Chains A and B, each alone.
Chain A
Amino acid sequence: MTLSAHAPAPDVPDATAPAQWPDATGHFGVYGGRFVPEALIAALDELTAAYEAMRVDPEFVQEFARLQRDYTGRPSPVTEVPKFAEHCGGARVLLKREDLNHTGSHKINNVLGQALLTKRIGKQRVIAETGAGQHGVATATAAALMGLSCTVYMGEEDTRRQALNVARMRLLGAEVIPVTTGSRTLKDAINEAFRDWVTNVETTNYVFGTVAGPHPFPAMVRDFQRVIGDEARAQLLEREGRLPDVVLACVGGGSNAIGIFTAFVPDGGVRLIGLEAGGDGVETGRHAATITGGDPGVLHGARSYLLQDVNGQTIESHSISAGLDYPGVGPEHSFLHDIGRAEYRPVTDAQAMEAFALLCRTEGIIPAIESAHALAGAMQVGQELGPDAVLLVNLSGRGDKDVETASAWFGLGDRTAPTDGDERAVEAGRGAEPGPGLDEDQHATEGAVTNDEAVAGQDAGEQQ
């Protein structure tokens, strides 16, 4: 299944070939596995079996390829950015343009696959967690396309930071539930989504957004995202007749990074570098650089690196980027780190925002703040390697959603980013009366289970 529009190069990776890892029970070395309540095992087994059957089913392969081409707009182009590259030690910098996908990020790649899987196993409702809102938007989009009912859990803090995406999800017919437990960010949204799933598992599929969580999610999401690297590798071979020296991507949970890394993992000469969110600096303790600053442990269903205290409690992460603000990371990244196949470095908020502004000004591309971490990495690595180096950067998403955050950071305009006490945040996130045409007039997708019939995770224990 090569989804590139270009003629396959002789050594195009075969996406349907069995991967080297994980093992049959979902382990990447010591990482991964399933650390979940027994009540979810049957659903995970069902998902694994259905996915294994689906991925080699020619009908699915064809349908998935058609959606990627006609709906997402794949293959995404590769853009060389010479003026930005002047700030990267003169190295050549090529961007894989996942920001140009429908819905604005790489998240759609995975969601279309999982939505097709949901239909295949006969479930009519999907739930999702979201941080920056990109995965929530993508899931709401796929649900609308395929006639599924959709509930998205989003930390209350993130509903403020990413108010635009909350509105997008509601426009798409999804129910957005602000999560008010714990740190009110992505980690807590995942907890709530798991609670919903364990309660409603007979009707509901959990469309997980990243390469974390219990098996089969890390492997399945990787397989749906590997199209990024498969395309990019073929595009570079065709255009440049060579592979890049370095592939860079930001890492929160790590799905866009695994997506672009996977095709290059067998190419030993290609360095793979994941850029983690360094927040205020790893040394300050206020960061989300899980591999750089964390230790192995168990969180959200898998063993992997995570930020934890001496008691094994998850530490709240900090990043200007809601999509990277997560104290865990996918188990395959932990494995790639430990075997030395990939490197992970922190990028601070300030470094990321510098790269963000630079790409806007030099190339006319507004990147997602998440992706700006990878751009900042390219600035560092380019300086280290010099003008002969070819750097491939995954531009995983576009920055429309981040304009308010960026305006506040750079002191542009008279509007600052919403804060806790800000009425606009309340309006955008929750609590205020919805505007005309939104919630009041919203109808569930025709033929789907309505969200009213399902029990929301935070109410699950109190249903009677």
Chain B
Amino acid sequence: MSALQDRIVAARAEGRAALVAYLPVGYPDVDTSIAAMVAAVEGGADVVEVGVPYSDPGMDGPVIQEAVDVAVRAGVGLPDVLRAVSAVAEAGAVPVVMSYWNPIERYGVDRFAEDLAAAGGAGMITPDLIPDEAGAWLAASDRTGLDRVFLVAPSSTDARLASTVAACRGFVYAASTMGVTGTRATVGDAAERLVARTRAVAGDLPVCVGLGVSDGDQAAEVAGFADGVIVGSAYVRTLLEDRGPDGVRVLSRELAEGVRRAKVRT
């Protein structure tokens, strides 16, 4: 019933974690960003988070903000995002949109859900929308069969973990460290503890870990305890450093090797 969950479960059946790549639409321009997403898939990403540029990305660190600022100024919007979604689906990965809430509300929640489903998108990750405020999106995603991924954090209480997980479909996004996006030298124990707490209430729903992974070794470490490894800033930095889609493909290969290196729990 869920394209995201099916893909992550399929990876688990291969004895590995899924690789989830984030890239924002529109950096350095729309076409190149789409080419980078396709390259990420060719390098081994199972899922691509198609990032919607936003002027006030409160949860993102300087790397992602620098890239999305360019896209915002260029007027990149949801029609461009839907084009990227189709391209990712065509390349063989599962596309899931990652968006702060206001661009979606401005476009129209119902309209976006229909257009996203028609473009072949699996669903949406909403970093600043908690289930408590998500009535319109819960209804629209039910109507269109889209997945909806909410975040849990180390500071989430057990009660909130349970209610948030209950609202998720596709996977649960465990924001592993308290802080904003960006690469870190160590992923830390907080991620593993959070995943364990989330699993206790998640049933069959996969748990993926984001915030901090930047190389194959870290991917392997996270793959040892999570169903999916989410990588964002490291991909974006590759583009910021002008290494282009080819650089993205190389990074994807390294990360894809990493998620296969770890011994995944069964």
Chain A residues engaging chain B, CB cutoff 8 angstroms: 25, 33-43, 45, 181-182, 187-188, 191, 194-195, 198-199, 201-202, 297-301, 306, 308, 310-314, 455, 457-458, 460-464
Q: Provide the residues of chain B in CB contact with A187, threshold 8 Å.
A: 56
Q: Provide the residues of chain B in CB contact with A35, threshold 8 Å.
A: 101, 128-130, 133
Restricting to B178-232, which residues have a CB under 8 Å from any CB of A? 178-186
The segment from B4-12, B30-38, B153-161 that touches chain A is B153-161
Whether the Cβ atoms of B106 and A43 lie closer than 8 Å is: no
Q: Provide the residues of chain B in CB contact with A191, threshold 8 Å.
A: 56-58
Complex A-B, nearest 8 residue pairs according to Cβ-Cβ distance, in ascending order: A461-B182, A461-B61, A312-B106, A312-B103, A39-B153, A464-B185, A311-B77, A42-B155
**CB closest chain-B residue, reference A45:** B157
B104 within 8 A of A: yes
In the complex, A194 Cα to B59 Cα: how many Å? 8
Whether the Cβ atoms of B54 and A36 lie closer than 8 Å is: no
Q: A37, A45, A301, A313: which contacts B103 (Cβ < 8 A)?
A: A313
Whether the Cβ atoms of A311 and B128 lie closer than 8 Å is: no
B105 within 8 A of A: yes
Whether the Cβ atoms of A312 and B102 lie closer than 8 Å is: yes
Distance in angstroms from A192 CB to nearest chain B CB is 9
Restricting to B144-186, which residues have a CB under 8 Å from any CB of A? 150-157, 160, 164, 175, 178-186
B75 within 8 A of A: yes
B62 within 8 A of A: yes
Chain B residues engaging chain A, CB cutoff 8 angstroms: 53-63, 65, 69, 72, 75-78, 101-107, 127-130, 132-133, 150-157, 160, 164, 175, 178-186, 233
Distance in angstroms from A154 CB to nearest chain B CB is 17
Q: Provide the residues of chain A in CB contact with B61, threshold 8 Å.
A: 195, 460-462
Known: A300-B56, A314-B56. A463 touches B184 (CB 8 A): yes
Q: Provide the residues of chain A in CB contact with B154, threshold 8 Å.
A: 39
Known: A312-B103, A312-B106. A199 touches B179 (CB 8 A): yes
In the complex, A83 Cα to B93 Cα: how many Å? 73
Q: Provide the residues of chain B in CB contact with A42, threshold 8 Å.
A: 153, 155-157, 160
In the complex, A202 Cα to B57 Cα: how many Å? 22
In the complex, A299 Cα to B76 Cα: how many Å? 19
Q: Provide the residues of chain B in CB contact with A188, threshold 8 Å.
A: 56
Whether the Cβ atoms of A460 and B107 lie closer than 8 Å is: no
In the complex, A41 Cα to B157 Cα: how many Å? 9
In the complex, A299 Cα to B78 Cα: how many Å? 18
Known: A37-B128, A38-B130. A198 touches B164 (CB 8 A): no
Distance in angstroms from B19 CB to nearest chain A CB is 21
Interface of A is mostly: mixed
Q: Provide the residues of chain B in CB contact with A463, threshold 8 Å.
A: 179, 182, 184
Interface of B is mostly: loop
In the complex, A313 Cα to B56 Cα: how many Å? 8
Q: Provide the residues of chain A in CB contact with B78, threshold 8 Å.
A: 311
Distance in angstroms from A194 CB to nearest chain B CB is 5
Q: Provide the residues of chain B in CB contact with A201, threshold 8 Å.
A: 155, 178
Whether the Cβ atoms of B175 and A37 lie closer than 8 Å is: yes
**CB closest chain-B residue, reference A201:** B178
Q: Provide the residues of chain A in CB contact with B69, threshold 8 Å.
A: 181-182
In the complex, A2 Cα to B262 Cα: how many Å? 65
Whether the Cβ atoms of A34 and B175 lie closer than 8 Å is: no
Whether the Cβ atoms of A43 and B155 lie closer than 8 Å is: yes
**CB closest chain-A residue, reference B181:** A461
Known: A42-B157, A181-B65, A461-B179. A36 touches B106 (CB 8 A): no
In the complex, A201 Cα to B77 Cα: how many Å? 33
Whether the Cβ atoms of B164 and A298 lie closer than 8 Å is: no
**CB closest chain-B residue, reference A314:** B55
Q: A299, A301, A312, A464: which contacts B186 (Cβ < 8 A)?
A: A464
Whether the Cβ atoms of A199 and B102 lie closer than 8 Å is: no
The residue in A312, A457, A460 that gathers the most chain B C-beta atoms within 10 A of its C-beta is: A312
Q: Provide the residues of chain A in CB contact with B62, threshold 8 Å.
A: 181, 458, 461-462
12 A-B interface contacts by CB (under 8 A):
A35-B128, A36-B58, A37-B128, A37-B151, A39-B154, A195-B59, A198-B179, A199-B180, A298-B105, A462-B61, A464-B184, A464-B185
Known: A298-B105, A312-B103, A312-B104. A198 touches B157 (CB 8 A): no
Distance in angstroms from A41 CB to nearest chain B CB is 6
Q: Provide the residues of chain A in CB contact with B77, threshold 8 Å.
A: 310-311
Whether the Cβ atoms of B133 and A38 lie closer than 8 Å is: no
Q: Provide the residues of chain A in CB contact with B181, threshold 8 Å.
A: 461
Q: Provide the residues of chain A in CB contact with B150, threshold 8 Å.
A: 38
Whether the Cβ atoms of B182 and A462 lie closer than 8 Å is: yes
Whether the Cβ atoms of B180 and A461 lie closer than 8 Å is: yes
Known: A313-B55, A461-B179, A462-B182. A41 touches B65 (CB 8 A): no
The residue in B53, B130, B181 that gathers the most chain A C-beta atoms within 10 A of its C-beta is: B130
The residue in B72, B75, B77, B155 that gathers the most chain A C-beta atoms within 10 A of its C-beta is: B155
